A and B are shown apart, each in its own frame.
Chain A
Amino acid sequence: MSGDRKRVHSPAGRKDADTADAARHRFEERRAFLKRAGVAAVLAAGSTWPALAPPGWIFSLRDPDGKRGAPKEKTFRLPEGGFIVEKPATAADLGVARGTDIRAMIRSAVDGIGGIAHYIRKGDIVVVKPNVAFERPALLGATTNPEVLAELIRLVKEAGASEVRVADNPIETPENCFARSGIREAALAAGAKVYLPSPADFQVLNVPGAALIEKWPFFRRPFKDAAKVIGVAPVKDHNLCGASMTTKNWYGLLGGRRNQFHQKIDTIIADLALMLRPTFVLLDGTRVLFRSGPTGGSLSDVRPGRTVVAAVDSLAADAFGWEDLLRRDPGRLPRYFAETAKRGLGNPNWRETVIRETRIG
């Protein structure tokens, strides 16, 4: 433009040039207007379409009744039929081993129900669920004995498991519980992976047929691609439900507001038996927390039990623990035994079952 100005010398020429300039300027103005109008039209259409197009059309955001925008609950299910492996016909229902050599006891107890090779296949990812609910040294009996856990992990690894995951969602601070109970150290030393719960690890589990937890947050991460699940729970007195053993142990996989469940503790334990059908369970009776449960806190609440019990039917194992380890009246089994048995999830009459008992040492 500065070049144009230089060329102009005469007044007449300048007038012509001015007119031409003005015309070109108006033309440019019009062109700019059309451009902007175009942009405005595209923006208007672009916002009108998603706002007004019926749901289902492409790019539609329309939500006439609010249902489209309501948060969707994503649920998942555990494998159909649980993680059960049918017990061999010749094996006993309860494998009981007594003694002090924990390694030999666990092997012997599991041999009683058919041997580890029957339950664990080469390459399986196995979840082992101890009870690490409280931040207590293992001696106080409020948590699974770390030696039992470690020997179980070794056994499972020897059977060919590709990975063993140890997971629990404790009541107290997870990290402190795993450390103080010795579970973390024992699990890592035995070659397992420790899964501590973190907020992203929970997903809503759908348990068809459950009375209270049909849809409930579940500690899912360790169960991704898992083939087998083994529960290993201590024998503990419990202030509300009488005794906490292998069946109540699954409570530690729930998330959310689980403290409501104490209002129907027997029902929730039956639900837990339905929710998680394990490959087998191990009842850790090396220490028995016979009073002040489930937290304990004093060595005087604990006595040595020197027993481990392996079973596919966790209810039978728990009933055995009630009578043999907690030394309580079999006629006064907590209600959850009956409630669980009613749903066909176990047999609390352990005396009717086949028991193979061994003594070690």
Chain B
Amino acid sequence: MSSARRNGNDDRVFVRNGRRPYRRSYSVAEVRWGAVVLVFLALVFFWVAWKGGHPDPKLFTTGIDPLRPGSAAVRGPLGGSLAPAGWTEGAVSEYDTSNVYEKIDGREDYYRAYGFERLFFLTLTSDIDIAKTIDIELFDLSTAANALGAYAGERPGGITPEISSSGMAHVARNALFLTRGKYYARVIGSDESPQVLDALARLRTSLEGAIEGEPLPWAYALFSGRLGIDPGKVTFLLGNAFSFDFARYVYTATVDDDGGRLFVSAARDEDSALTLAARFNAGFLEYGKGEAVRDGVEWVRDRYIGRLAACTAAGPWVIGMKGAVDLERGAEELARLRSAVALLPGETHRLALEERRADESRRGARAEGVEDGEGNLFPGEGGETERGGTDER
């Protein structure tokens, strides 16, 4: 009985021979389709394996990468190690327009006005005395003119910068300031000990080595090269120059001890230079009245500060003088500038326009509020406050 049950079909624990087909004929077509399916399965397999090997890096990283501290990607223009012997670098942190306030809360508007792109920050600590530190703030200000402008704006009066072909630098007490290309570096030591000062000097060399330089803007060739003005006295005003909303991309150079300044700006062509010069004059006249005409240029005396200003077109350039004390002297300086400008090659004018256009298009893309003439973005005029324009503070 029991053996009969074991043989029967009705009581099997597991199916035996469960796949024996009853069909009579077979078809090779099934094998072919099977092969197609197997190829498909293989594709799925490799696709999954490939996906597995290519994770989304964002998923597993945090803002701080633990494994590559200060690697090339983060160091940006800083390149390799900057630390002089006896000093050690901390981690490099990078900030952009969205978060720069975290690092330099309250000061960021100043750098924004000079085309702020990025800030790299790092601290060096002395190996011998860990109380001695040096902070490096390296600003990417998008153009060399901006970098020089920001630099000139923060330089205290009475300091003569050292000028190289691609930037300026000076050491003041425990700090080193330098520009190189579009970068502006502020390097602040914790004290004025010889150790720190020595490190600052060596940092200057390594920073200048690390960052690619570019030639100084054309205006330096004009003011320093042709007129012999100390390049440290040249300033770049990106927008809202003299608090005139129309006045942008203006270079100025201080020519006397009283703060009288020559200025120059490139207009598109001769006609627009005439128009722009007329706007300057109209602007000056709003705050003063005409006093005299020299060489066909009307000089206007400001009714508040009592200084003289004048502006005229010279070819495609707009030139002028602002803050002159003495009419004759001012007229003389302006004449010198006029003759120097007349000698500028056409190439320089093209370069100046190029520089301006590149900067404008960058700003246009970012839709920054610099050009809307709201007027309070420029504290950087070398400590001197210009009265006039729309500025009523």
Decide yes or no whether A305 CB sits under 8 A from chain B.
yes
Which of under 10, 10 to 19, 20 to 34, or 35 or more describes the interface residues of B?
10 to 19
Given contacts A304-B130, A361-B85, whether A137 and B66 have CB atoms under 8 Å apart is yes
Q: Determine whether the beta carbon of B66 is less than 8 Å from that of A182.
A: yes
A residues in contact (CB < 8 Å) with B: 98-100, 137-140, 146, 179-182, 185, 299, 303-306, 359, 361
Q: Determine whether the beta carbon of A304 is less than 8 Å from that of B64.
A: no
A48 to chain B, nearest CB (A): 34
**Complex Cα spacing A100 to B66, Å:** 18
Chain A residues touching B, majority SS: mixed
Given contacts A304-B125, A361-B85, whether A137 and B130 have CB atoms under 8 Å apart is no
Q: Determine whether the beta carbon of A306 is less than 8 Å from that of B130.
A: yes
Q: Which residues from 79 to 102 on chain B have a C-beta closer than 8 Å to any C-beta of chain A?
A: 85, 88, 90-91, 93
Q: Determine whether the beta carbon of A100 is less than 8 Å from that of B91.
A: no
With CB as the reference atom, state the residue of chain B lying closest to A182: B66
**Complex Cα spacing A179 to B55, Å:** 15
Given contacts A100-B88, A299-B91, A304-B88, whether A359 and B127 have CB atoms under 8 Å apart is yes
Q: Determine whether the beta carbon of A100 is less than 8 Å from that of B67.
A: no
Given contacts A303-B125, A304-B88, A304-B90, whether A140 and B64 have CB atoms under 8 Å apart is yes
Q: Determine whether the beta carbon of A99 is less than 8 Å from that of B127.
A: yes
Decide yes or no whether B69 CB sits under 8 A from chain A.
yes
Number of residue pairs spanning A and B whose beta carbons lie under 8 angstroms apart: 43
**Complex Cα spacing A99 to B85, Å:** 10
Decide yes or no whether B65 CB sits under 8 A from chain A.
yes
Q: Determine whether the beta carbon of A306 is less than 8 Å from that of B93.
A: no
With most chain B CB atoms within 10 A of its CB, the pick from A146, A182, A304 is A304
The one of A180, A305, A361 that contacts B130, using a Cβ cutoff of 8 Å: A305
**Using Cβ atoms and an 8 Å threshold, which residues of chain A touch B62?**
137, 180
The 5 closest A-B pairs by CB, nearest first: A137-B66, A182-B66, A137-B64, A138-B66, A100-B88
**Using Cβ atoms and an 8 Å threshold, which residues of chain A touch B91?**
139, 299
**Complex Cα spacing A180 to B62, Å:** 9
Q: Determine whether the beta carbon of B66 is less than 8 Å from that of A139.
A: yes
The one of B65, B67, B93, B127 that contacts A361, using a Cβ cutoff of 8 Å: B127
**Using Cβ atoms and an 8 Å threshold, which residues of chain A touch B60?**
179
A81 to chain B, nearest CB (A): 38
The one of A139, A140, A181, A306 that contacts B127, using a Cβ cutoff of 8 Å: A306
**Complex Cα spacing A98 to B60, Å:** 33
